[in-house]
Amino acid sequence: MPAIVTFTMNPAVDLFGVTEEIFDDSKSRCRQTALEPGGGGINVARNVRRMGSESLAIFPAGGLNGELLKSLLEKDNTQFKAIPISADTRMNFAITERKRSIMQHFVFPGPDLSTTEWDACQQAVLDQPCGYLVLSGSLPDNAPHNFYVDITQQANQKGCKVMLDTSGVALQESLYQGAYLAKLNRKEFASLGYDENDDIPTLTQQMRTLVDKGAADVLIVTLSRGGAVLVAQDGSEYQFSAPKVHIVSHVGAGDSFMSALAHQLNQGADLKTAFKYGVAAACVTVQTEGNQLTDLGWLQRMLDEIGEA
């Protein structure tokens, strides 16, 4: 069985391009730089395979974009299981403007699924044994509010460690359901009823309260300028800071964090080491275009620059 299974309910084809300048009410001529399979869990599965852990990406796919998504994954040698749906898979695009050194990321809503399609997706995940199950990315607007809840509860009962990386209602509903780990950014954590500008000691205490109440065995909150805080049920608390770097794109950085974390845990690393790898992976990814962590040598070098606070 694959050690790490990822589930992406809202996958995409990600188109990346570059232009000298973005003009208002006029054509901004672009050059395509990459066409990638996209969506949180898909990004994680691709990274994990590259790192050396066996992975399987599960996701719904439909229409021409769905066929393109599957074709791109086949070329990438990523194992996947696509659940057919009638609607078209979405396409997102990100354009880098050289004049201002900025990236504009345009994200479209995912397709609506029928009740039968929702059930098929859920069953496909629950039928797949694994060591770690990564539930990553947003849910389509018409998603059942308890969709991740049911998967988390049932996967946990089967002995699979569920790792959550989502937001909004999907996040709020999925905490306290037996997940092994949940990763949030500051904004997502604030959506649970906290102040995004609280200092780190206050944030850590708030995280401890949630963990002690059973939100997840391990809770991670990533920080806006790099670094992250981890609080675990066993009493462990860690904070790592990242060096100042030139940010090219935030696309895929959180997925790279989750990839390195899951891979290291699967390889038997302790939680602190796996956490440090996650911070380093995100730091490398923000310095590159695209949505992938491809330079594993750079990842190893970055570990030396990650500081423990």
4-308 homologous superfamily:
Ribokinase (3.40.1190.20)
pLDDT tens per residue across span 187-235: 999 999 999 989 999 999 999 999 999 999 999 999 977 699 999 999 9
CA separation, residue 97 to residues 86, 92, 115, 190, 289 (Å):
36, 17, 41, 31, 12
- Using one digit for the tens of pLDDT, what is the confidence trace for 11-24? 999 998 999 988 88
Judged against a pLDDT cut of 90, whether residue 271 lies above it is answered with yes
213 burial level (CB within 10 Å; 0-12, 13-18, 19+) = exposed
The pTM assigned to this predicted structure is 0.92
pLDDT tens, 231-258?
Answer: 999 999 999 998 887 777 677 688 999 9
pLDDT tens per residue, range 52-80: 999 999 999 999 999 999 999 999 999 99
The neighbouring-strand residues paired with 308 are 240
One DSSP character per residue, 139-153 reads: --TT--TTHHHHHHH
Q: How confident is the model at residue 290, as a pLDDT?
A: 64
Beta-carbon contacts of residue 88 (< 8 Å; ≥ 6 apart) = 62, 63, 64, 65, 66, 111
Are 174 and 164 in contact, with CB atoms under 8 Å apart? Answer: yes
User: What are the boundaries of each domain within the chain?
Assistant: 4-308
Supply the pLDDT for residue 272: 97
State residue 252's pLDDT score. 66
